[in-house]
Structure 1
Amino acid sequence: MPLYQLHYKANPALWPSDPKENLAMWEESTQAAEALLDSGNLHDLHLVTPTEGYARLTAESKTTALAIAASFFPMFTNEVVELVPWNEAKDPVLEAVRHAAGQG
C-alpha cells in the first residue's frame, strides 16, 4: 500500500487568540491525531515547531490521504506527497539519469 508524507502547518490566522479557546482547539486537534494513530491510519507524527510537523500514513490512494489531511483543514494546511521506496525507485531513476547522459 502506498506511503504518504503530510507536511502540515497550523494556520495562525484562524486559531483563537483567547488562551482558553486556543487550548480547547489544541486539545481537539490532539484527540483527532491520537485517534488516527490508534486506528493505524497514521504511522507516526512528528513536530518540528509547535505549529508545524510531519506525519506518515498508508492509504489506498492519494485521494484517501488527502481526505485524511482535509479533516484538519482549515486549521492546518497540508502538503501531501507519496513516498516511493528505494527498492522501487532506484532503477527507474538511474535509468533516466543514464539516458540523460547519453548512456541509456
Structure 2
Amino acid sequence: MAGLDPDWVDDFVLAVNELATNSVEHGPGSGRLRVWTAPGLLTVEVSDHGRMDVPFPGVVPPSPTGQRGRGLWLASEFSDVLEVWSDPAGTVIRARAR
C-alpha cells in the first residue's frame, strides 16, 4: 500500500481503527474517514462534529493502571505524524505513515 512496508501498514491500520473508534465512541457517534496516498506516503484523516480539549493528545502515555485512554497514544505510536485540532466545527485527526 503506497509503497510502505507491509508490517508498518498493519500497525498503521490499528492506529486508524483507534481513531475511527474514538470518533464513534467518544465523539458524536459518527465521523468521516478520508484516505489519500502519494508515493511512499499514506495519509488518513478522521473528522467529526465533536470537540476535544485534551492537552497534547496522543503525546502523553496512558496510565499503566488505567482501563482506557490508549487510543490516541497508540495512534501516535503507530504513525509517523499525528496531528489533532479542534475548532467550533469539530475535531480533525490526521495520521501519516511513510
Q: Which has the higher contact order (CA 8 A, sep 6+)?
A: 1
Q: Same fold by TM-score, threshold 0.5 exceeded? A: no
Structure index of larger Rg? 1
Provide the TM-score with structure 2 as the length reference.
0.42
The structure with the greater share of residues assigned to helix is: 1
